[in-house]
Amino acid sequence: MSKKITKICCIGAGYVGGPTMAVIAQKCPDVKVTVVDINEKRIAAWNDEDLGKLPVYEPGLDKVVEEARGRNLFFSTEVDKAIDEAEMIFISVNTPTKTYGKGKGMAADLKFIELCARQIARVAKDDKIVVEKSTLPVRTAQALKSILHNTGSSPAGKEGGVQFDILSNPEFLAEGTAVEDLHAPDRVLIGGDNPEAIQALVDVYAHWVPAANILTTNVWSSELSKLTANAFLAQRVSSINALSELCEKTGADVNEVARAIGTDSRIGPKFLKASVGFGGSCFQKDILNLVYIAKSYGLHEVADYWEQVILMNDHQKRRFADNIVTTLYNTVSGKKIAFLGWAFKKDTNDTRESAAIHVADYLLNEQAEIVVYDPKVTEEQIYADLDYLNTRDEKENRKLVTVVNDPYKATDEAHAIAVLTEWDEFRAYDWQRIYDLMLKPSFVFDGRAVLDREKLKNFGFEIYIIGVGSCG
């Protein structure tokens, strides 16, 4: 018989922890779910009466939070209290790529995970099931186990010691469709070595996920599956992006090629959309992680193979920016370039690793002036993203980059438009009006292949579409 879980705690109220716990609480009204974070501002936003102010924008999330919050879903900064109460603790803190020391630029920085483990070990007075939710390098569970078992007031293994079971339960939700993905996951993956602990977590998901969609494996397989899934998905994007350059040279249309190959059921239609480059907090980080692990085992061919996915992605971002400069008569100095979109994909306010940041950086190095419009990303975030790159000082970023809340303002007197995110609303704009507002010739660089080439051409635009090429 597995233990019945009545109280869950989740450490980390970010893009993964917030939506995942909201859906668990919604679907399991008999379980008290407390999401804790050290970031007071974030917790206050999760508790805001105004559901429009939730810190994570996800379609449908407001409804889920509205249903469960205050009933069995709570957001709090009292980390110790929530750990103490819970039978099951999810760790959902950030694991960015290391920016210092050994493994810099490649390995995942596990300091936040380690701090959580030490805190759990210090606070726990009774047995806990600890669930890794953050994306982690393979064998992190081992490190977690070691910390949990050797620290704390009553270390496991000693008489009267607390028992910790570690499970790996990677998250496969994609931002922008997180609620849908959580409501109807292709699969839930649970890795562990204690069948009772595994069953306790299976029982939580079984509230709404069919048994056939809940897979159980050993811990290492589960950890590696997460990295592998993201590496395969990113590889598909880099593969189609590699072909997009060839299409532009040969007159083929990458979207037609994608449709043609996607109908082969062995290939399938998803993740074949050519773009200015993939972004998001996971793809690059997870592949770098995979590369780092492979290298650390001396598997250099394996490492090089996967690294190429990242190199192709970097090339695509640079190529897109380069094309803007070349087309605008080899100089963008002092020219106004309107950015439509800053988020790394549509339907999210997340900008981590967004291609827009790198394209902007490249154009700013060429002394362009950029005006950004994104329906969901704040001005504060856009400046923070540019400042984080550390390419130029904060004053310079604010001088060269303006953020507006109206697309027509962004395009007014612009030399060119760059489409960096595939927001649906871009298609519905009054493009005749935009053409009239812009300087002539009016260039559009569509890095997401979302615009209607023929329609824009008829208005008089010179248009370049990624994977299709230029016309006008």
Residue 378, classified by CB atoms within 10 Å of its CB into exposed (0-12), middle (13-18) or buried (19+), is: middle
Q: Is 247 annotated as a binding residue?
A: no
DSSP state of 299: -
Q: Site for ligand ADP (CB under 6 A): which residue of 10, 16, 240, 419?
A: 16
Q: Does 438 bind ligand ADP (CB under 6 A)?
A: no
Q: How far apart are CA 427 and CA 58, in angstroms?
A: 21
Quick one: 271 or 408, whose CB is closer to ligand UDX? Answer: 271
Find out whether 176 is annotated in a ligand binding site: no
- Among residues 79, 80, 64, 115, the alpha carbon closest in space to that of 94 is found at 115
Using CB under 6 A as the binding rule, whether residue 339 contacts ligand UDX is answered as: no
**The tokens of 413 are what?**
């007197």
Per partner kind, with CB cut-offs from 5 to 8 A, the member of ligand ADP, ligand UDX, none near residue 233 is ligand UDX
Look at residue 12 and give the partner it binds from ligand UDX, ligand ADP, none, a contact being a CB closer than 5 to 8 Å depending on partner kind: ligand ADP
Q: DSSP of 374-389, one letter per residue? A: -SS--HHHHHHHHHHH
Q: Does 285 carry a binding-site annotation?
A: yes
Tokens for 13, please give them.
């109220």
Reference 80, options 120, 125, 21; nearest CA is 120
**Which partner from the list ligand ADP, ligand UDX, none does 280 bind, CB cut-off 5 to 8 Å by kind?**
ligand UDX
Q: Is 134 helix (H, G, I), strand (E, B) or coil?
A: coil
Q: Cβ 278 to ligand UDX, closest distance in Å?
A: 3
Preceding amide of 441 cis, omega within 30 = yes
The interface partner of residue 115, options being ligand ADP, ligand UDX, none and the CB cut-off 5 to 8 Å by kind, is ligand ADP
- The reply, when asked if residue 96 is annotated as ligand binding, is yes
Q: Which stretch binds ligand ADP (CB under 6 A): 25-33, 88-96, 403-411, 419-427?
A: 88-96
Residue 38 found at the interface with ligand ADP (CB under 6 A): yes
Q: Is 95 assigned a ligand-binding role in the annotation?
A: yes
Nearer to ligand ADP, 173 or 468 (CB): 173
Determine the distance from the C-alpha atom of residue 86 to the mean position of all C-alpha atoms in its chain, rounded to a whole number: 28
| Choices 10-18, 179-187, 224-232, 293-301; region in contact with ligand ADP by CB under 6 A | 10-18
Ramachandran angles phi, psi of 418, nearest 5°: -115, 125
Under rule CB under 6 A, residue 115 binds ligand ADP: yes
Select the residue whose beta carbon is closest to ligand UDX and give its number: 280
Residue 79 interacting with ligand ADP (CB under 6 A): yes
* Pick 26 or 351: Cβ nearer ligand ADP: 351
**Is residue 447 close enough to count as binding ligand UDX by CB under 6 A?**
no
Q: Are 74 and 32 in contact (CB under 8 A)?
A: yes
Token pair, residue 222, equals: 């589960």
Question: Distance (Å, rounded) from C-alpha 198 to C-alpha 166?
Answer: 9
Would you tell me how many other CB atoms lie within 10 Å of the CB of residue 55?
A: 19
Chain position whose Cβ is nearest to ligand ADP: 14
Concerning whether 9 is annotated as a catalytic residue, the answer is: no
Number of residues in contact with ligand ADP, rule: CB under 6 A? 21
**Is residue 176 a contact point for ligand ADP (CB under 6 A)?**
no
251: DSSP letter: T
What is the size of the binding site for ligand UDX (CB under 6 A)?
19
Identified binder of ligand UDX from the candidate list 237, 293, 325, 382, rule CB under 6 A: 237
**What is the spatial distance between Cα 312 and Cα 54, in angstroms, rounded to a whole number?**
35
Is 283 labelled as part of a ligand binding site?
Answer: yes
From the CB of residue 454, how many other CB atoms can be counted at a distance below 10 Å? Answer: 9
Distance CA 106, CA 290 (A): 9
Q: Report CA torsion sign: 305, 307, 310, 312.
A: negative
In the list 292, 344, 426, 464, the residue contacting ligand UDX (rule: CB under 6 A) is 344
Instruction: For residue 431, give every residue at least 6 positions away whose Cβ sits within 8 Å of its Cβ, in sequence order, or none.
Output: 455, 456, 459, 461
Burial of 301 (0-12, 13-18, 19+ CB in 10 A): exposed
Q: Which of residues 270-309 bind ligand UDX (CB under 6 A)?
A: 271-273, 275, 278-280, 282-283
91 binds ligand ADP (CB under 6 A): no
The partner in contact with residue 185, picked from ligand ADP, ligand UDX, none with C-beta cut-offs of 5 to 8 angstroms by kind, is none
Draw the binding track, 130-169, toward ligand ADP (x: CB under 6 A; -: no contact). ----x-----------------------------------
> How do beta strands 462-465 and 443-446 pair?
parallel
List of long-range contacts for 376-380, beta carbons under 8 Å, 24+ apart: 376/57, 376/343, 376/348, 376/349, 377/342, 377/343, 377/349, 377/351, 378/349, 379/403
**Sequence-separated contacts (24+) of 50-54 with Cβ below 8 Å:** 54/18
| Residue listed under structure tokens 């004053």 | 395
Q: Which of residues 152 and 279 has its CB atom nearest to ligand UDX in the complex?
A: 279
Q: Which of 23, 91, 188, 233 binds ligand UDX (CB under 6 A)?
A: 233
316 touches, from ligand UDX, ligand ADP, none (C-beta below 5 to 8 Å by class): none
Question: Which residues make up the interface to ligand UDX (CB under 6 A)?
Answer: 171-175, 230, 233, 237, 271-273, 275, 278-280, 282-283, 344-345
Interface contacts to ligand ADP, rule CB under 6 A: 11-17, 36-39, 42, 79, 92-94, 112, 115-116, 134, 281
What is the set of active-site residues? 282
**Residue ranges at the known binding site:** 12-17, 37, 42, 93-97, 134-135, 171-175, 226-230, 266, 273-279, 282-285, 344-345, 352, 448
